[in-house]
Amino acid sequence: MLKHRSITIGRFNGFLSSGTFSDVNLTSALYSKRDSSAVKLTAYTVPNCKRIPFKEAISKLNEFKPVKIGDSFGPSWVTVWFNVKITIPDNWNDEVIYFLWNCNNEGLIWSLDGKPLQGLTGGGGDDSRHEYILTKEDIKKKSVEFYIEGACNGMFGNGDNGLINPPDPNRQFTLSKAEIATPNMEVWHLLYDFQIIASMAKNLPDNSSRGSQALYTANKIINVFDPKCKESWSKAREIAAEFLGKHAGDAAHNVYAIGNCHIDTAWLWPYDETKRKCARSWASQIRLMEKYPDYVFVASQAQQFEWVRTLYPTLFEEMKEKFKTKQFIPIGNTWVEMDCNIPSGESFVRQFLYGTKFFKEYFDYSSDIFWLPDTFGYSAQLPQIINIMGMKYFFTQKLSWNNINKFPHTSFYWVGLDGSEALTHFSPANTYTANATVNDVITCEKNNKDTAYSNDSLLVYGVGDGGGGPLMKMIERLKRMNNVDGLPKVILSDPSIFYKHLEENSNDLPKWNGELYFELHRGTYTSQAKNKLYNRLTEYLLHDVEFFSCLSLLLNGSSNYPKDEIEELWKDILLNQFHDVLPGSSIGMVYDDSTKIYKNIIEKGTKLKDNAINSIIFNSSKPAEGKKGYEIFNSTQWTRSEVIEVPLLPNQTNVQQLSHSKNKALIYVEDIPGFGYKNVYDNKLVNKNLSICYQNDTKTYVMKNSYITATFDDMGRMISLIDNEINRELILENAKGNQFKIYDDAPLYWDAWDVEIYHLEKGSDITNGNVKIIEEGPLRVALEIRIKISEQSNIKQIIYLTPISKRIDFETEVEWNESHKFLKVEFSVDILCDTATYETAFGYVKRPTHYNTSWDMAKFEVCGHKFADLSEYSYGVSLLNDSKYGYAIHEKTIRLSLLRSPKAPDDNCDIGTHNFKYALLPHIGSFYTSNIVEEGYKFNVPLIPRYIEEMEMDNSFQLFKINDKKNVIIDTIKYAENEKITENAIVVRLYEAYGGTTQFKLFSELPVKKCYVCNGLEEIIQEVEWKENSCNLTIKPFKIMTLKLFFKK
């Protein structure tokens, strides 16, 4: 070898090139024979983009027409079924024959008797899967017949001239390859050997002796190789074997390689395509497992397993078989790989509950790893939830995408809000779709930030996002890197083995406390606003359905609890929480799907809720002549006194105030017990603390009750807010509240995902509004504001104040038709604090209100649930919402993100009419002494009035009560998962919401037989003594507590 490293490395590329030199290099000898005339094809295009089952497809056999290489199929999303008949030529006596196929789209091979055999991925990229290995029986018979279900989309959908662009509806896919071929196995093996050695020459340091030896060896192989001479192939392999036979040292770094195919449950394709992606991907992996008995593959998302179970039962059986051989391993235990910012705490619990239940039922197995490589930030409560759901490890890599700060750890203990820990590993290869190259393996060691504390890394490989999974070449490469001097040792492994090894063999691993904030994709708290509204609505709808169904069961003594229906509806909510659906980063077709699913949940859930309430009324009332009035139901834990709207009845008298729409009456209801009901047959007139509203002068409007006085200018902006109790002005001098602002919103690339920090530099106040008074009290006052955002967008807002609270509600309707604009509303308040409080799942997080460091600044847009709060020592202001998740509190300005208008991947994102509410709530005392958590629930879970006449119920009833501890919150009341309906077993899920250990008493008006503390899977941990009508409990800061109570009959 002459001495020139870079020219020699250049020579390696030419040796493997499938373009230039492919007539004389290694690739020229990969096949000894190829024949396309042996393959006869007919095809049937399914009309109307329908995806039909196998049986239906083959019933159309008489409609299959001959097709040939060069024919095109389409348009986008159409399905083409091919019948493939192969006649193996008589003179082919080879042991291995490949069928090679490239229609530049995705395909699934089906056997004649309807079994999915293997997926095919067209195109010429690294992810392509063109080969299907004919079975020995096929070769013996000399003829083969099967079907290919071709889907007219690529691995990443049908993006119009770019990955994330909205789909091009008119794509065509050309069949460019349909043939059989016999591989020269020796040359194939040499190819993989050479890839390893040449890559070591390229990727090891210039001056390393192993790198230099690799350079010499690879060069020598090229010199020896002759594509026409079989002996030269063996000689070349011997040279390779000598090099690869030198072993790594005892202290070499360990890389645990895990095959996977990340299948986004919906993204650049709709749910129905994902069902087929699962079959294509997983069938391919089963074939690889047959070929490589030591090959290990993991798959997550019970929903995808459930689809395969019902649509591809034979494949599901094969998966179960390969689970027994420890090759096909379910992982993660969640229903889908969900967004981890937006879902409520209860949604998180259900993701694991239903996921774990599925895997236990069908595999008798539950993973110990929470597996979520690809979501956009991780809630601070997840370490606890992982623990209470029976797991202890966590895997991701997403924070390697941070665009401001580099995350400092690879292997560490993630410490949650409550102090729970989860051993966490971020794959140092910074990907979950690694190609399994030498460079990936080297990067694992080089980029591992904790090699001082542990010697293990995880490499997650396989084509992914659109599914696919590992390819033969990946496994071949990894097996060669098992023990080679100069490289880490590669182990094909179950990830549980990796985590156990890491746990037992690491020292002094670092810790990371609190949320794993993702410094990118901050637009996902806001994009696809309706989807987010539906998420909040349906989470609380099922909260109500479960509570009222329990109440009905316990009060009526019937066995009528719609457990299966509720579980189905929950699973639909969980499905739509997938990490590209709820965040708003999918194509428009996905939101057509999710909207349909949400509407179904709302329709069925509302029916279930009404049924339960009606049954409570029916069973708990007795005839009462002349009686009429309202039964008020309360599904939150607090005793509530509120002004509510009720339908106006014919000939109704005694109406203290009509709503501005004139079709509703306003009534004041007092002391409605928590988790119960009360009758209001003679509703009280409010005669004190009235609210008033008046025009002060031509330019200002005042809303006032005994607690606060709010003044608005003639554009609807709040120019003053005075707390009457202490006579304090809350609006910052020369600033305003309820100021709508519009920002330019053009991120760097990921349109629906990202809002970039510079958008804050280019925003303007919307000042084009007018105001009128539409309700003047005494029960409620209201201003109507109309604001013009632009020629094509406007806002109609009604601002309400009642006599009973400091809360000012802003009911908002926006007609939105913008491009790359971001609408926010801002309140600048005279409150000083360097941190603000944002509600998260089962708790809150504090984040800075300043940009001191790059880590602080990176949080310029953050996620909050029902409220965000800015409090100083003795006073604070909260901004509540009914469906928004994007907030920013910077210095003294509270911003709520309302609507965005990205154009990719859905060019229609958020165009149209939106209805949502937010509320401003000033409070005396800091956040810790406030009742903001309670107010967040009340704002989202209204009291439910039911008109009844000629009947009467007991005066009032309360199922559960907690003694005067405002930080202990009962979030969920549901029927126990593993108990028969006749057992009267109710699960109560509580959490500590403010961060302090608390002793409390839980009461019930109904007799309880037994009470147990359980884990999140509702497995009993210990009994708690229930005495008379209560039990004593202690809850630690931010803990989630699951109780199971058996009620007497």
Name the residue nearer to Zn ion (CB basis): 264 or 346: 264
Residue 229, sorted as left (phi over 0), alpha (psi -120 to 50) or beta, turns out to be beta
CB of residue 348 to Zn ion, shortest distance in Å: 18
- Residue among 71, 160, 272, 374 that touches Zn ion (CB under 5 A): 374
Assign 61 to helix, strand or coil: helix
Name the residue nearer to Zn ion (CB basis): 374 or 485: 374
Name the residue nearer to Zn ion (CB basis): 264 or 992: 264
What gap in Å lies between CA 468 and CA 637, rounded to an integer? 48
Tokens 């003179």 correspond to what residue?
91
896 - beta bridge partners?
825, 887
Number of residues in contact with Zn ion, rule: CB under 5 A?
2
Tokens 């959908």 correspond to what residue?
157
CB of residue 259 to Zn ion, shortest distance in Å: 17
Task: Count CB-CB contacts under 10 A for residue 549.
Answer: 26
What gap in Å lies between CA 471 and CA 495, rounded to an integer? 19
Name the residue nearer to Zn ion (CB basis): 301 or 455: 301
Write the single-letter amino acid at 570.
W
Determine phi and psi for 359, rounding to 5 degrees.
-65, -35
Name the residue nearer to Zn ion (CB basis): 226 or 374: 374
Name the residue nearer to Zn ion (CB basis): 382 or 944: 382
* Residue of 559, 338, 512, 294 whose CA lies nearest to 408: 512
CB of residue 373 to Zn ion, shortest distance in Å: 7
What gap in Å lies between CA 562 and CA 573, rounded to an integer? 17
Name the residue nearer to Zn ion (CB basis): 264 or 839: 264
Judge contact between 488 and 444, C-beta under 8 A: yes
What gap in Å lies between CA 41 and CA 86, rounded to an integer? 9
Name the residue nearer to Zn ion (CB basis): 374 or 830: 374
- 3-state SS string for 626-664: EEEEEEEEECCCCCEEEEEEEECCCCCCCCCEECCCCCE
CB of residue 499 to Zn ion, shortest distance in Å: 22
What DSSP element (H or E) covers 299?
strand 297-299
* Residue of 1030, 1048, 1046 whose CA lies nearest to 976: 1046
Contacts with 312 (C-beta within 8 Å, 6 or more apart), sequence order: 116, 278, 279, 283
* Residue of 1018, 1007, 941 whose CA lies nearest to 979: 1018
Name the residue nearer to Zn ion (CB basis): 187 or 460: 460
Q: What is the DSSP letter of 460?
A: E
Q: Does 306 bind Zn ion (CB under 5 A)?
A: no
* Residue of 445, 455, 482, 132 whose CA lies nearest to 295: 482
CB of residue 82 to Zn ion, shortest distance in Å: 30
What gap in Å lies between CA 228 and CA 226, rounded to an integer? 5
CB of residue 580 to Zn ion, shortest distance in Å: 6
Window contacting Zn ion (CB under 5 A); options: 358-366, 369-377, 617-625, 713-721 = 369-377
* Residue of 395, 483, 410, 397 whose CA lies nearest to 449: 410
Judge contact between 179 and 39, C-beta under 8 A: yes
- Two structure tokens written together for 250: 């005892």
Q: Which residue lies nearest Zn ion, judged by its C-beta?
A: 374
What gap in Å lies between CA 584 and CA 582, rounded to an integer? 5
CB of residue 275 to Zn ion, shortest distance in Å: 16
Name the residue nearer to Zn ion (CB basis): 103 or 263: 263
Q: Is residue 954 annotated as a catalytic residue, yes or no?
A: no
- 3-state SS string for 880-931: EECCCCEEEEECCEEEEEEECCCCCCCCCCCCEEEEEEEEEEEEECCCCCCC
CB of residue 101 to Zn ion, shortest distance in Å: 27
- Two structure tokens written together for 637: 């834990």
Tokens 């094969």 correspond to what residue?
318
Name the residue nearer to Zn ion (CB basis): 521 or 759: 521
Name the residue nearer to Zn ion (CB basis): 244 or 589: 589
Contacts 24+ apart (CB under 8 A), 430-434: 430/397, 430/400, 431/397, 431/460, 432/260, 432/262, 432/373, 432/374, 432/397, 432/460, 432/464, 433/262, 433/460, 433/461, 433/462, 433/463, 433/464, 433/465, 434/459, 434/460, 434/461, 434/462
Q: Which of residues 256-285 bind Zn ion (CB under 5 A)?
A: 264
The Cα-based distances of 256 to 173, 407, 475, 487 in angstroms read 38, 22, 13, 13
What gap in Å lies between CA 877 and CA 927, rounded to an integer? 9
Window contacting Zn ion (CB under 5 A); options: 149-157, 367-375, 490-498, 588-596 = 367-375
CB of residue 885 to Zn ion, shortest distance in Å: 19
- 3-state SS string for 798-848: EEEECCCCCCEEEEEEEEECCCCEEEEEEEEECCCCCEEEEEECCEEEEEE
CB of residue 747 to Zn ion, shortest distance in Å: 19
Name the residue nearer to Zn ion (CB basis): 339 or 745: 339
E strand map for 306-392: 328-330, 369-371
CB of residue 1042 to Zn ion, shortest distance in Å: 30
Q: Which of residues 515-544 bind Zn ion (CB under 5 A)?
A: none
Assign 359 to helix, strand or coil: helix
CB of residue 262 to Zn ion, shortest distance in Å: 5
What gap in Å lies between CA 38 and CA 34, rounded to an integer? 9
CB of residue 277 to Zn ion, shortest distance in Å: 12
168, 368, 374, 856: the catalytic one is: 374
What gap in Å lies between CA 731 and CA 531, rounded to an integer? 33
Q: Which residues bind Zn ion (CB under 5 A)?
A: 264, 374
* Active site (catalytic) residues: 374
